[in-house]
């Protein structure tokens, strides 16, 4: 993990107002996609059952299980995380991809837009398009509120209750992606997400709107760091001492974060998760 001085919560959220403005501005600028939020993310894990038990202990028991494969979907407030074993040749114990939800998603229109931008993509039956960034990190382009569609191919999972969840997320705040070439990656994400929302503010990271107040950040990978999605961040009310104790009991490892008001941990797969308190109006 990058060794840096912590952000305050105020500094970490300084781009949110700009992000909301950018979400409106991108439409006027002719960006082909309008996003409502970061709809979901997916993790590739070796042991789906173990991962589901951990995530339900931390976030609650609203879980769907795919009817035809071991994929599970765990609700994270209005969003969710999908988890399944990696495909052949794919990495495991990683965040596999993220999906900003497109308002009024139209598959044919999305394909035309990507073709016009000269971006390669893979169509996946029933779940939209997958677009690799310059380092191969996958962006899924699909509909907003895809949880309502997942129910067509999945059913409620019979997960034994583990008591009151440790936290109740209010949503995804951001994801951070480590990249090998900031200029190339910025140009790619500008095509997909619209303009950078923090121009000239001197922050260490490059931020885009993921829809609403959600953000997608880029950071130049440091020595020894892998490219790909570094972490995801949820918002939720929490008490630091009790949450840290509960996470450790569930098998997580508490780590040093870069936002003073937040708490960071590695889940049982070693995936970095950050929790921030909700923004107060």
What DSSP state is assigned to residue 144?
Answer: T
Dig out the tokens for 66 from the structure: 């795919």
Query: For the chain, what is the domain count?
Result: 2
- Domain assignment of residue 162, yes or no: no
Instruction: Look at residues 137, 156, 175 and tell me which one is the last residue of a structural domain.
Output: 156
For residue 243, pLDDT beyond 90:
yes
Q: Is the pLDDT at 11 greater than 80, yes or no?
A: no
In a domain? residue 252 = yes
pLDDT of the residue at 96: 96
Output the average pLDDT for the chain.
89
CATH no. for residue 77? Answer: 3.10.180.10
3 lies in some domain: no
Residues 118 and 181 in one domain: no
Q: pLDDT-derived band of residue 32, with 50, 70 and 90 as boundaries?
A: confident
Please determine, for residue 105, whether its predicted confidence score (pLDDT) is greater than 60: yes
25 and 49 both lie in a single domain: no
Task: Judge whether 1 lies within some domain.
Answer: no
**Do 127 and 171 belong to one domain?**
no
Q: Is the pLDDT of residue 280 over 90?
A: no
> In the predicted model, what is the mean pLDDT of residues 84-112?
95
Residue 16 has pLDDT above 60, yes or no: no
DSSP string over 165-225: -S----EEEEEEEEES-HHHHHHHHHHHH-S-S-TTS--SSEEEEEETTEEEEEEE--TTP
At 10 the pLDDT is 46
Judgement on whether residues 16 and 41 belong to the same structural domain of the protein? no
Residues 200/204/210/213 CA torsion (nearest 10 deg) = -80
- Nearest Cα neighbor of 24 from 197, 204, 257 is 197
pLDDT confidence tier of residue 57, bands split at 50, 70 and 90 = very high
How much of the chain, in percent, has pLDDT values that exceed 70? 86
Mean pLDDT, range 250-274, rounded to an integer: 97
State mean pLDDT over 70-98: 95
Q: Is 88 exposed, middle or buried (0-12, 13-18, 19+ CB in 10 A)?
A: exposed
58-63 average pLDDT score: 94
Q: Is the pLDDT of residue 25 over 70?
A: no
Q: What is the mean pLDDT of residues 126-137?
A: 97
Specify whether 71 is located in the same domain as 140: yes
In a domain, 211, yes or no: yes
pLDDT over 90, % of the chain? 81
Cβ atoms 40, 139 nearer than 8 A: no
Separation between Cα atoms, residue 199 and residue 79, nearest integer Å:
28
Task: For residues 1 and 255, give the distance between their C-alpha atoms in angstroms, rounded to a whole number.
Answer: 9
Instruction: Give mean pLDDT, residues 265-274.
Output: 98
The answer to whether 214 and 169 are in contact (CB under 8 A) is: no
Q: 149 with 40, same domain?
A: yes
* Beta bridge mates, 133: none
Cα 55-86-180 angle, rounded to 5 deg:
95
For residues 127 and 140, is the Cβ–Cβ distance under 8 A? Answer: yes
Of the chain, the end-to-end C-alpha distance in Å amounts to 31
Which of the 8 DSSP states describes residue 150?
H
Same domain, 26 and 52: no
**Does the pTM of the predicted model rise above 0.85?**
yes
> Is residue 2 in some structural domain?
no
Q: Are residues 131 and 198 in the same domain?
A: no
Same domain, 70 and 97: yes
Pair 277, 235: CB distance under 8 Å: yes
Give the Cα separation of 17 and 27 in Å (integer).
17
Q: Which residue among 103, 131, 156 closes a domain?
A: 156
Full residue range of the structural domain in which residue 208 is found:
9-31+167-276
Please name the residues in contact with 17: beta carbons below 8 A apart, sequence gap of 6 or more. Answer: none
Q: Are residues 140 and 48 in the same domain?
A: yes
For residue 185, what pLDDT is reported? 97
Q: Can you tell me which residue has the tokens 């950040």?
A: 217
Note whether 139 and 60 are same-domain residues: yes
| pLDDT for 209 | 95
- Residue that is last in its domain, among 111, 128, 156: 156
Contact 216, 177 (CB under 8 A): yes
Kindly state whether residue 281 falls inside one of the protein's structural domains.
no
Instruction: Kindly tell me if the per-residue pLDDT of 2 is higher than 60.
Output: no
> Is 140 a domain residue?
yes
Taking Cα atoms as reference points, which of 196, 275, 193 lies closest to residue 238?
Answer: 275
Which pLDDT tens digit goes with each residue over 180-236?
A: 999 999 999 999 999 999 865 556 799 999 999 999 999 999 999 999 999 999 999
CA 41 to chain centre: 5
Verify that 50 and 16 share a domain, yes or no.
no
Dihedral angle sign, alpha carbons of residues 42, 46, 52, 55: negative
């Amino acid at each position: 993990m990058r060794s840096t001085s912590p952000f305050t919560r105020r500094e970490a959220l300084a781009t949110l107002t700009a992000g909301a403005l950018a979400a409106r501005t991108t439409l006027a600028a002719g960006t082909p996609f309008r996003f409502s939020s970061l709809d979901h993310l997916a993790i590739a894990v070796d042991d789906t059952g173990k991962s589901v038990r951990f995530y339900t202990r931390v976030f609650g028991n609203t879980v769907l299980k795919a009817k035809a494969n071991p994929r599970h979907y765990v609700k994270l407030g209005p969003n969710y995380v999908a988890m399944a074993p990696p495909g052949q040749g794919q990495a495991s114990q990683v965040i596999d991809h993220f999906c900003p939800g497109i308002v009024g998603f139209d598959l044919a229109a999305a394909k035309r837009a990507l073709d016009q931008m000269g971006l390669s993509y893979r169509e996946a039956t029933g779940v939209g398009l997958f677009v690799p960034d310059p380092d191969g990190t996958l962006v899924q382009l699909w509909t907003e509120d895809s949880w309502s569609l997942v129910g067509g191919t999945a059913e409620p999972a019979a997960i034994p209750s583990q008591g009151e969840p440790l936290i109740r997320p209010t949503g995804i705040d951001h994801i951070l992606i480590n990249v090998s070439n900031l200029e190339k990656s910025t140009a790619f994400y500008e095509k997909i997400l619209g303009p950078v929302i923090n121009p000239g503010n001197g922050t260490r990271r490059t931020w885009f709107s993921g829809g609403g107040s959600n953000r997608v950040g880029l950071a130049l990978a440091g020595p020894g760091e892998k490219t790909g999605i570094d972490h995801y961040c949820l918002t939720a009310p929490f008490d630091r001492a009790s949450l840290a104790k509960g996470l450790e009991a569930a098998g997580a490892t508490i780590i040093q974060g870069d936002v003073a008001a937040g708490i960071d941990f590695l889940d049982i797969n070693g995936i970095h998760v950050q929790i921030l308190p909700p923004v107060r109006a």
